[in-house]
Amino acid sequence: MIEVSSLTKTYGKKRGIDRISFVVEEGDIVGFLGPNGAGKTTTMNIITGYLSANSGAARIGGVDVLEDPVEAKKKIGYLPEQPPLYLDMTVEEYLNFIFDLKLVKDLKRKKHLNEICELVGLTDHFKRLIRNLSKGYKQRVGLAQALIGNPEVLILDEPTVGLDPKQIIEIRNVIKNLGKNRTIILSTHILQEVSAICERVLVINNGQIVADDKPENLSALITGDRKLTVRVSGPRDSVRRVLRGVEGVQYAEATIQAERGSYDFLVEAQPNVDIRKPMFSALARSGYPILQLKSMELSLEDIFIKLVEEKKKSYVSTSKQGKKPKSDLHVNVSESTSADFDDIAPLVTKNEDEPEIDVSRTDDQTF
């Protein structure tokens, strides 16, 4: 459905994206994962025909975006990073305008608009001026705009940015449902989002695709390091001594005093050792209760470093499978303990400009 071959785009001397190629089959939901400035938006802008690549081609359903832009654009619904809204219009006026703009002919206007509003949860705000809507609702109007005309392909640039946790879950469900009969590309810098929605992930860093894989394989990589944060009630030095005494512990250090009389410890295990049970027993024996235990997830940056390393290795072995990490973990800690935090993390991190977003640390701050 979407075919991108060796796209390159330079901004002056700076390289935006560098020979990006991939194919998305009909009905797939593909996630672009990468830090800010990695080239996600540039790639999307080229696919939608907003920008032109210096070299390479993008085809939508066999139509080249550059050769027949009008025909290609008819197939695409695009939600850019910043939803393109006319603030002086009501939601109703705006969606009607989009309906005209996209030259939708074969659908009944009123019914179609009502269906879309129902889908994204805008029905109660249909008559309101867009200027007066909150950021979350503006985002919904942007999403509604992309859906008008039932395009075969949806390109969504960070669709859940600026939404509150409840809305994020709602919108993710909407996207998942849409993905049943549409081809979707969405971009995000939030790891959990990819595993929640996408069937396939393209990890982009510095304008290049560093990994093309299923999210399960990626999340195995995320927990590949044996780092845990554990909150223990008890005096700092003696707890640390107990922790260091546990078999398999490579490193243990107190980070912050979390609550009165309890500390957070960063504990690192030796490779391929699950230290959680022995750690629990040791602390229990000493009479220091564990208040909280969770795995330290890697930040995106850490993952990129890993992926790039894996890629180098795979070049050596000349095997394409080489970039897939071997998952030899006993239990996936991150999924069991931090699942509840997944949807909070984006809200906390949404305004950060730095590409390194350490999800686990922001979790700590919110709770």
Partner 1 sequence: MSAIFKRDLRGYFSSPLGFVFVAAFLIIMNLAFYVTNILSGKENLKTVFSVMLYGLIVVIPILTMRTFSEDYKQRTDQLLLTSPVKASGIVLGKFFAALTVFLIGLAFTVIQVIVIAAFGTPNMGSVIGNYIAVIAAASVYIAIGVFISSLTENQLVAAIASLGIFVGILLMDFSYSLVRADWLKAILYWVSLYRRFNTFYLGVFSIADFFYYISISAVFVFLTVRVLEKKRWS
Residues that bind partner 1 (CB under 8 A): 45, 48-52, 69-71, 73-74, 76, 78, 80, 82, 84-89, 93, 97-98, 100-103, 145
| Tokens representing residue 169 in the block | 């879950």
Number of other CB atoms surrounding residue 34 within 10 Å: 26
The span from the CA of 211 to the CA of 196, in Å, is 18
Helix (H, G, I), strand (E, B) or coil at 305: helix
CB of 10 to partner 1, least distance (A): 11
By C-beta, is 99 or 288 nearer to partner 1? 99
By C-beta, is 47 or 258 nearer to partner 1? 47
The span from the CA of 363 to the CA of 258, in Å, is 13
DSSP strand pairing (200-205 vs 29-33): parallel
CB of 74 to partner 1, least distance (A): 4
Q: Which residues pair with 184 in a beta bridge?
A: 29, 154
By C-beta, is 34 or 80 nearer to partner 1? 80
The span from the CA of 79 to the CA of 155, in Å, is 6
CB of 114 to partner 1, least distance (A): 20
The span from the CA of 214 to the CA of 321, in Å, is 12
Q: Quick one: how far is CA 327 from the chain centroid?
A: 21
Angle, CA of 358, 359 and 365, to the nearest 5°: 100
Residues in contact with 194: Cβ distance below 8 Å, sequence separation at least 6, in sequence order: 31, 33, 188, 201, 215, 218
CB of 5 to partner 1, least distance (A): 18
CB of 155 to partner 1, least distance (A): 9
CB of 207 to partner 1, least distance (A): 17
By C-beta, is 32 or 288 nearer to partner 1? 32
By C-beta, is 27 or 69 nearer to partner 1? 69
By C-beta, is 22 or 97 nearer to partner 1? 97
Supply the angle between the helices 109-120 and 135-147 in degrees, to the nearest 10. Answer: 140
CB of 157 to partner 1, least distance (A): 10
By C-beta, is 44 or 204 nearer to partner 1? 44
**Smallest Cα–Cα separation from 180: which of 26, 32, 48?**
26
| DSSP assignment letter at 3 | E
| Tokens representing residue 142 in the block | 């942007």
By C-beta, is 183 or 229 nearer to partner 1? 183
CB of 30 to partner 1, least distance (A): 19
